[in-house]
Amino acid sequence: MARLNFAELLLVLVAGQQLLAAAIWLLAVRLRVAPRVPSLHWVAASVWVAVCAALPVLQSQDRWYGFGLPALLLPGALILTRLGLEILFRQPRRDAEHLLVMLLALGGALLAALLGAGERWWHVQASLLSAACLLRGAACVHGAARRELGLRGARLVCWPLVLMALLFGGRGLGAWLQPEHFAQPMTADSPSNIALLMAYLSMSVLFHVMLSLTVALRLVGKLQQLSRLDPLTGLSNRRGLEERWASLRHRLPLAALAVDADHFKNVNDRHGHAVGDQALQHLAELMRRSVRSGDVVVRLGGEEFLLLLAHTDAEQARQRAEQLRALVVNSPLRLDEGELALTVSIGVAVAVQAGPSGPLISAADAALYEAKRSGRNRVVLGALQEART
């Protein structure tokens, strides 16, 4: 076997780097520390790039599959990368765009064959299509990344894509404007090839580190979100309430409805805890249906819930509480053996001044206690109707 020059060694290094990245993503999937479907797309993309890097070294440059085939295939690897990101951020598939890129690559290949085009054509086609794929991928996931990870997280995701797009775009323009320097075979030991390959090696490492950090940030964000939610009902828990209080406390008047399921111990004793859990989930769903988009429903623990209603005065709060009480009465839990009737007691308090959550919740709890003491399945508007928080 002939001795490899420096450019060929770099191509081999690119191929090895991509195969290593594919192996790491496969291991992450196996260990269940990375999402399966996006990671498998990145595995396929890495293997695809490795093939594109190895073909020029393995085949003589006077054969079309030594330079034309890698150029034809390269945009496909970037389509897979973009698909993985779109799936990760739950973005809609854009198959028409991907099909257009593949048709442009194939059409360019056919045109090159008809015209007998050389290295210049293939470099320009592969580079510009690859740059377009990367820029479009960054544009498509930026909004979702910003919503999930914040502005810094979105930059972490998108800037490596943009930098790689600039690298490919510069290569394509260079090949078009100065083919004698930038349109040589990738195995040629030229300064432009060596600079390109070394830059690609560095950016590829950056890109896979970015993907890893993105997966880690989303996992941390998901764990933080779960820590704010009640696992049974999916409602906010006490921690979630405290985090949302800062925005709620100024939306005055602010009503608090303390809600407790009546005789819930009897439900667990007669029907079992599984049915009791279904009953809590049923009540949680009824409360979700009874509130507006800006209101908050919290499960405080056991069978006790709290509703916080923004811009709601005492009379409006009492009416909303009566509507919820009636909704529960008229919406029994359907079981295989029949229906389970449920009722709730509700205590209401209203704050007219911003402050901590404790006094308002305590006032609503006091009204709830009075509702249960006076017979249950009723609404009591607390004596402290305008609780100062």
Query: Which residues are known catalytic residues?
Result: 303
Name every residue whose Cβ is closer than 8 Å to that of residue 84 and which is 6 or more positions away in sequence: 37, 38, 39, 40, 41, 42, 45
Question: Which amino acid, one-letter code, is at 69?
Answer: L
Q: Give dist(CA 10, CA 8) in Å, integer.
A: 5
Whether the CB-CB separation of 254 and 351 falls below 8 Å is answered with yes
Strands (E), 143-301: 254-261, 296-301
Crossing angle (nearest 10°) for helices 36-58 and 191-227: 170
Question: One-letter amino acid identity for 100?
Answer: L
- Residue 46: both structure tokens together: 């890495």
Q: Which two tokens stand for residue 261?
A: 């399921």
Look at residues 297, 310, 386, 282 and name the one whose alpha carbon lies nearest to residue 346.
Answer: 297
Cis ω on the peptide bond leading into residue 56 (within 30° of 0)? no
Contact 169, 124 (CB under 8 A): no
3-state DSSP assignment of residue 178: coil
Residue 298 to residue 200: CA distance in whole angstroms:
50
User: Which residue type is seen at 231?
Assistant: P
Is residue 162 within 8 Å of 139, Cβ to Cβ? no
Q: Which residues, 6 or more positions from 227, have their beta carbon under 8 angstroms from its beta carbon? A: 239
d(CA 158, CA 145): 9
Cα separation, 383 vs 350, whole angstroms: 10
| Neighbour count for residue 387 (Cβ, 10 Å) | 24
Residue with tokens 């544009």: 139
Residue found under tokens 């930026």? 142
Question: In the numeric block, which tokens belong to residue 270?
Answer: 């007669």
